[in-house]
Amino acid sequence: MHHIPFKINIRTSVQVAELIVHLTKPTWRFMNSEIREIWNSRYNTGTYIYGTRPNDFLRRSVKMIPPGEILCLGEGEGRNAVYLARKGYPVTAVDISDIGLAKVKRLAQESNVKIETVWSDLFDYQITPGKWSGIISIFCHVPADLRIDLHRRVTKGLAPGGIFILESYTPEQLKFKTGGPPTQDLLVTLKDLEKELSGLTILHGVERERIVSEGNLHTGMAAVVQIIAKKPATKKTKAKKTTKPKTTAKKTTKKK
Ligand SMILES: C[S@@+](CC[C@H](N)C(=O)[O-])C[C@H]1O[C@@H](n2cnc3c(N)ncnc32)[C@H](O)[C@@H]1O
């Protein structure tokens, strides 16, 4: 008896799907190496292009972060990571720009703090689930499909009670021209973020206009969205009611 040669089982289908994902990834890698080059050439200068002072919104919100490890996404040249490390938090900084990360190390050394740096594309970076007391995203503008997936990983990555802090430019920023990406696809609204971060409790979520003055590239009145979001603490499991063991012995009452 002959076997049907092209019988496709579920395992084969999964393998084919994995192969397709694998083969399509180099396109991403190519695109992202372009992004790395863009940021490397911006950072390839003796000065800190966003300055060395922390972002204002982060400075005002830092007290919300409980003790523990902090992850800074798209950290750039280190101004926010160094600020957090000086406050005593162990900090990990991730960025696609190796030149940016070399500046993070330099700024940390000059400030007598230690920062763990990870040279990675956020597309690939695995955020360890349940680990982080704080995750920070300051003007970390990435395409919507990556951002949605990243925020899914952020939600998983926070420890119970952990805090996510984000400030980004909104599409309204295109009319101000005082910094940020020149195209709408890299900008984000409060509505987008509320949807993407639905697993967190939003403690502060606003779109507002404010003066952003950070080095040579963020230079004046701007349209931003700000988020402080908390991972719910794990619910305490109710202690099971203990039922008294039934006793078979009968109460004997002494007659007086
Ligand atoms: C506007 S800068 C902000 C830097 C820093 N957060 C700050 O506030 O000073 C955006 C940063 O995101 C990083 N970035 C952009 N796309 C990235 C990606 N796909 N993976 C990792 N980092 C990325 C850039 O290299 C850059 O350092």
Report if residue 170 sits inside a domain.
yes
Is residue 205 very low, low, confident or very high in pLDDT (cuts 50, 70, 90)? very high
Report if residue 7 sits inside a domain.
no
Residue 193 to residues 40, 135, 181, 227, Cα–Cα distance (Å): 28, 15, 18, 8
The string of DSSP letters for 237-255 reads PPPPPPPPPP--SPP----
Which secondary-structure segment (H or E) carries 100?
Answer: helix 98-110
User: 176 is written with which tokens?
Assistant: 């101000």
pLDDT in tens, 111-138: 999 999 999 999 999 999 999 999 999 9
Name the percent of the chain in helix, strand, coil, to the closest 5: 35, 25, 40
User: 222 is written with which tokens?
Assistant: 């701007």
Neighbouring C-beta atoms of residue 51, cutoff 10 Å: 16
- Residue 93's beta-bridge partner residues? 72, 117
How far is Cα 71 from Cα 92, in angstroms, rounded to an integer? 5
* Confidence check: pLDDT of 241 > 70: no
Report if residue 29 sits inside a domain.
no
- Encoded amino acid at 45, one letter: T
- Is the C-beta atom of 54 inside 6 A of ligand 1? no
Nearest residue to 84 via CA among 66, 62, 64? 62
- Is the C-beta atom of 97 inside 6 A of ligand 1? yes
Report if residue 196 sits inside a domain.
yes
Please report, for the domain that includes residue 74, its CATH number: 3.40.50.150
pLDDT in tens, 39-77: 999 999 999 999 999 999 999 999 999 999 999 999 999
The number of the ligand 1 atom at minimal distance from the alpha carbon of 36 is 25
Report if residue 136 sits inside a domain.
yes
Is residue 97 very low, low, confident or very high in pLDDT (cuts 50, 70, 90)? very high
* Confidence check: pLDDT of 80 > 70: yes
Give the residue numbers spanning the domain of 186.
Answer: 56-230
Report if residue 20 sits inside a domain.
no
Q: What 3-state class would DSSP assign to 220? A: strand
pLDDT in tens, 148-167: 999 999 999 999 999 999 99
* Mean model confidence pLDDT for the chain: 86
Is residue 1 very low, low, confident or very high in pLDDT (cuts 50, 70, 90)? very low
How far is Cα 63 from Cα 13, in angstroms, rounded to an integer? 50
Report if residue 10 sits inside a domain.
no
How many residues comprise the chain? Answer: 256
Question: Which pLDDT does position 32 carry in this prediction?
Answer: 85
- Is the C-beta atom of 32 inside 6 A of ligand 1? yes
DSSP letter at 231 equals P
Question: Which pLDDT does position 215 carry in this prediction?
Answer: 84
Q: How many domains does the chain have?
A: 1
- Is the C-beta atom of 164 inside 6 A of ligand 1? no
Report if residue 174 sits inside a domain.
yes
The number of the ligand 1 atom at minimal distance from the alpha carbon of 217 is 1
Q: State the pairing for strand pair 218-230/91-95.
A: unpaired
Closest protein CA for atom 10 of ligand 1: 140
Choose one of 95, 187, 217 to mutate for the ligand 1 pocket test, by most ligand atoms within 8 angstroms of C-beta.
95
